[in-house]
Amino acid sequence: MKYSIFSLARAALSGHKNWQPTWRDAAPKDRYDVVIIGGGGHGLATAWFLASEFGIRNVAVLEKGWIGSGNAGRNTTIIRSNYGLPGNTGFYELSMKLWERMEQDLNYNAMVSQRGVLNLYHSDAQRDAFARRGNTMRINGIDAELLDQAALRKMLPFLNFDNARFPVQGGLLQRRGGTARHDAVVWGYAHAASELGVDIIQNCEVTGFTRDANGKVTGVETSRGKIGAGKIGMAVAGSSSRVAAMAGLRLPIESHVLQAFVSEAIKPLIPGVMTFGAGHFYVSQSDKGGLVFGGDIDGYNSYAQRGNLPVVEDVCEGGMALIPMIGRVRLLRQWGGIMDMSMDGSPIIDKSPVDGLYINAGWCYGGFKATPGSGFVFAHLIARDQSHKEAALFRLDRFQRGAMIDEKGQGAQPNLH
């Protein structure tokens, strides 16, 4: 069904009894042109772009749990395109432009809110680094503003400007950045993809690949039977190594747990997204009123979807150092998601060495903001067997070639990205 003010009014007048399910809960067919493994944001976006932009509608999305049960519903909902390295800069801006038209494209309210993303700096050296990144963004046509302390004191009077160790000197602001409601993003893609004929198959775990004599993948074995496929794309985040291993591949990826937190709901307090520059802490306020925040990954390999207390302490200390008043707010919930940490902190969107199998992985803890861009370039890769120009550097073999995209300069130690 199409959502509009009229459909809302009609439903309201009939007591909200006539709403249709947002998407069809499909049963698997014998064969599809393309099978996407992973019904998170990236997988669903890929399916939708395949159907809407590239004319491939005989597509299935296989999800081992239910739509939105993984990282799609666990992230801190931030969208931004403030990257500094070639490869990342253009790709994330492509994604940002797709965020700006997503709701119209999908006919779904994803609550995209461009309330600004502010990275705070606390030293002269950090200011210079931020100025450089801001300039990189601006020469690539992306908005960025370097603000000094006086400007921030007007905007955010509650920051701990005179902290003896980490005074807030200013910040790099991307006004077009912000947040989006993460559940609505997956529901929106599921809705729009389903309308175009894509089968969304839940509770369907992939257990293996079927291959022909030449080694090409011809389908998947699942908990709901065999499904044939012309091409297979995998977008399974923290499970990337496990799924790739079924095809005999080892990836330059480790799975780590990242925790996120939400406070009790309070009146409007924090106007946009802000990040502490002297520790790892980022925060925004949801429309329900809770402060949504997070920090570093826990630092050890994990598939457990829950973290430990040292990082809880570290994140809360970061929050207290930056915004002392939030010590009065009670923590409501905390959870963990499994991040596919790559060896340079940047993603992999490429054909795999196995014919017919395409990889979308290595998002580290930055996958949410990339959702529409990732879907678009992955669909482009699958449909045309050729990388989109904005994803041309996200190659699987870049580590072998020494062509890393290491935004943080940490090297092959994924728990430091």
Partner 1 sequence: MRIVCPFCGERELGEFTYLGDAKPQRPAADAGEDAVYDYVYLRDNIAGPMSEHWYHGGGCRAWLKVTRNTLTHEISAVEPAAGAGAAKVGV
Query: Which residues in 262-297 are b (16+ Cβ under 10 Å) and which e?
Result: bbeeeeeebebbbbbbbbebbbbbbeeebbbbbbbb
> Between the CA of residue 332 and those of 261, 280, 318, 321, what are the distances in Å?
8, 20, 18, 20
Q: Which is nearer to partner 1, 153 or 306 (CB)?
A: 306
Minimal distance, residue 187 CB to partner 1, in Å: 29
Contacts to partner 1 from residues 36-75, by CB under 8 A: none
Residue with tokens 């990388």: 387
CB of 240 to partner 1, least distance (A): 8
Q: How far is the CB of 311 from partner 1 (least distance, A)?
A: 9
Which residue among 86, 215, 310, 409 contacts partner 1 (CB under 8 A)? 310
Mark residues 328-367: x for contact with partner 1 by CB under 8 A, - for none: ---------------x------------------------
201 in Cβ contact with 62 (< 8 Å): yes
Nearer to partner 1, 29 or 306 (CB): 306
Smaller CB separation from partner 1, 106 or 244: 244
396 touches 357 (CB < 8 A): no
Residue 228's Cα: distance from chain center in Å? 29
Q: How far is the CB of 298 from partner 1 (least distance, A)?
A: 9
CB of 313 to partner 1, least distance (A): 7
The piece of 33-41, 99-107, 196-204, 306-314 that touches partner 1 (CB under 8 A) is: 306-314
Number of residues that bind partner 1 (CB under 8 A): 25
391, 91 Cβ separation under 8 angstroms: yes
For residues 285 and 268, the answer to whether their CB atoms sit within 8 Å is yes
What is the CB-side half-sphere exposure of residue 317 using CA atoms within 13 A?
11
Query: Which residue of 241, 259, 360, 387 would you call a contact of partner 1, by CB under 8 A?
Result: 241
**Toward partner 1, which CB reaches closer, 104 or 400?**
400
Subset of 246-305 contacting partner 1 (CB under 8 A) = 250-255, 299-304
Cα gap 230→224, rounded to integer Å:
19
The minimum distance between CB 306 and partner 1, in angstroms, equals: 8
CB of 343 to partner 1, least distance (A): 5
Among 9, 27, 309, 403, binds partner 1 (CB under 8 A): 309
State which of positions 145-174 bind partner 1 (CB under 8 A).
none
Among 242, 333, 384, 389, binds partner 1 (CB under 8 A): 242
DSSP annotation of 410: -
CB atoms within 10 A of CB 213: 5
Task: List 348's β-bridge partners, or say none.
Answer: 361
Interacting residues of 321 by C-beta distance below 8 A, sequence separation 6+: 160, 163, 166, 276, 278, 279, 281
Q: What angle do CA 276, 278, 284 make, to 5 degrees?
A: 10
Per CB under 8 A, 399 contacts partner 1: yes
The CB-of-250 to partner 1 minimum distance in angstroms stands at 5
Residues near partner 1 (CB under 8 A) are 241-242, 250-255, 299-304, 306, 308-310, 313, 343, 399-400, 412-413, 415
